[in-house]
Structure 1
Amino acid sequence: MNTDVFITCAVTGAGDTAGRSEHVPVTPEQIAHSAIEAARAGAAIAHIHVRDPETGRGARDPKLYAEVVDRVRSSGVDVVLNLTAGMGGDLVLGGTERPLPVDERGTDMAGATERLVHVEALLPEICTLDCGSMNFAAGGDYVMTNTPDMLRAMAKRIQAAGVKPELEVFDFGHMVMVKELIEEGLIDDPAMIQLCMGIPYGAPDDPDTLLALARQLPRGAVFSAFSIGRMQLPTVAMAALAGGNVRVGLEDNLYLSRGQLATNAMLVERAVTILEAMNARVLGPDEVRGRLNLQKRW
């Protein structure tokens, strides 16, 4: 069991959730405020997506990221910023009989440089790197697309920027990619890995699978784990028991309990309660920086 645990709050995500809960932040001001409140509740890391303020849909406009980051950094609240680099790998095929041309309404494919414009401009301490392709929860003809060459190119740019990549592992094959990136010298020690559980077509969120993935971790890696929906909060306990850290937040789950919509701060507070009831200590931002060898930017 890990007795010194840090909490990441995934504040908003890019999924179609804004219409299901009034607490899902959409505008840069709302996203920054929610990240600040999560930090005050005990989150050491805020994982940030941005959304189109008009439609609520996921976006990757660097100006939106810049406003969120500026608001958080100028707030006086200390939190490690973790910006997503997952946008730009969305492929929706045209159908079962004619996969090409792709469906342009849902496809958003960008090159390595474009996917990292906001990271290289804003220099957060952490950014995510999804370590493989998969049929994702949206179903249909959607594929989350991250080829080995794309991941290597992105890892090189992230390393050159002095940003720590959080390596997102959705299934066992993604761990192979993680190990290759480490062996090729593209990931600085210690590797930071996120085990993403319970997403349809990826690794299920049962304890056996979590432990099996944890046993595949590279030596010296620091890892967190999360699940989606109703299993988010139980996975807080499972992740700590497996030796890891935890992630909660409205990107992955909208509810505190059956029928009760949550805020990000509520989910962080519940995670703190679970961990402290297990006699685990919740780490602050500076302790996390020391553990992960992060470069504080502000």
Structure 2
Amino acid sequence: MKRKHDKVIITCAVTGGIHTPSMSPHLPLTPEQIEAQAVEAAEAGAAILHLHARDPADGRPTPDPAVFARFVPRIKAATDAVINITTGGTTRMSLAERLAYPLQARPEMCSLNMGSMNFSIHPVARRIGEWKHDWEKPYVEGMEDQIFRNSFKDIAHILRTLGQAHGTRFEFECYDVGHLYNLAHFVDEGLVQAPLFIQFIFGVLGGIGADPANLAHMRGVADHLFGRENYRFSVLGAGRHQMALATMSAVMGGNVRVGLEDSLFLSRGELAPSNAEQVRKIRRILEELSLEIATPREVRDMLGLKGAGAVGF
């Protein structure tokens, strides 16, 4: 059944907590750089901006609310895009650290990893010949022995303290089929209500592989668990899989996520000079497929968001 709204939502994940400064000179690190790239991505067509923070001194990921506060309100003032704050952070952050700024900001959206998992890019360290900062190499190599924790209790806590208490809705990040069943558990518990916005994530070491058949399988499982009319899905293809899987998602009636958090490249061997260039590329592809791009106002309606006027920043 065709929905009333079938425009494509573009999410841009601006910097993340996985890549490090030595991997690309274009990765935004300071509050000013994150702000500038986020605003440019919104102007290029991203209706949702997924945001992490970095220590401006050396680019390492940080959960510090004071750093977030240096760019999030400025992005809100400069664009109408939906601001989506991570609750994932990094594998090295505690739950309290990951929630410190979201609980203060009370945004329209937050990301929410739907389970504990191995999550790593440690093989990438072998390809880096020179590191800009002392923290980077042990950080990347150390991912081999790190687990991202989000227990059922952790997830329930986030859903209650952000969702129920403040009206924040979620980008449910599902890195494997089991994460869809975890989400279904919270629907059954009454902690999550439709419309759901589910991010299918492919190609992260520790999660489901970036095979087209896996996208079809995830879609089928989600249909079975939630009913197609009760959720919208988006696709994140990590690294070189970014554009191909995003295109496949759109053809299947889904939405797309791009950004330097997920891939540092624009095409094979070519570093993306900015987040906006990735947004422009996927937008060109979508428009060539005769698909329309959703505006922030339309996204707020599609996902049942509380509106920019109800946030804490």
* Aligned counterparts of 1:279 and 1:124: Cα–Cα separation in 2: 32
Moved over 4 A (4+): none
Q: Is the 8 A contact 1:236 1:274 kept in 2?
A: no
Give the structure 1 partner of residue 48 of structure 2: 45
Give the structure 1 partner of residue 105 of structure 2: 122
Alignment of 1:18-167 (within 5 A): 18-75=21-78, 77-87=79-89, 90=91, 107-111=92-96, 114-138=97-121, 139-159=143-163, 160-167=165-172
* Aligned counterparts of 2:219 and 2:276: Cα–Cα separation in 1: 28
Q: Secondary structure at the match of 1:252?
A: coil
- Pick one of 189, 198, 207 that aligns with 2:203: 198
TM-score, length of structure 1 as denominator length: 0.89
In terms of mean alpha carbon deviation, does 279-288 or 9-18 score higher? 9-18
Q: Is the 8 A contact 1:197 1:227 kept in 2?
A: yes
Q: Secondary structure at the match of 2:144?
A: coil
Alignment of 1:179-258 (within 5 A): 179-217=184-222, 218-219=226-227, 220-258=230-268
The offset of 1:293, in angstroms, is 0.7
Identity %: 40
Q: Is the 8 A contact 2:76 2:83 kept in 1?
A: no
Determine whether 1:260 maps to 2:267.
no
TM-score, length of structure 2 as denominator length: 0.85
Aligned-pair Cα RMSD in Å: 1.6
Number of residue-to-residue matches in the alignment = 278
Q: Which structure has more helix as a fraction of its residues?
A: 2
* Aligned counterparts of 2:240 and 2:102: Cα–Cα separation in 1: 32
Q: Give deviations 1:26-82, integer Å, cap 9, x for gaps.
A: 01111111110000000000000011111211110011112221111222x211000
* Aligned counterparts of 1:206 and 1:69: Cα–Cα separation in 2: 35
Letter aligned with residue 196 of structure 1: I
Q: Is the 8 A contact 2:14 2:49 kept in 1?
A: yes
Q: Secondary structure at the match of 1:281?
A: coil
Determine whether 1:275 maps to 2:286.
yes
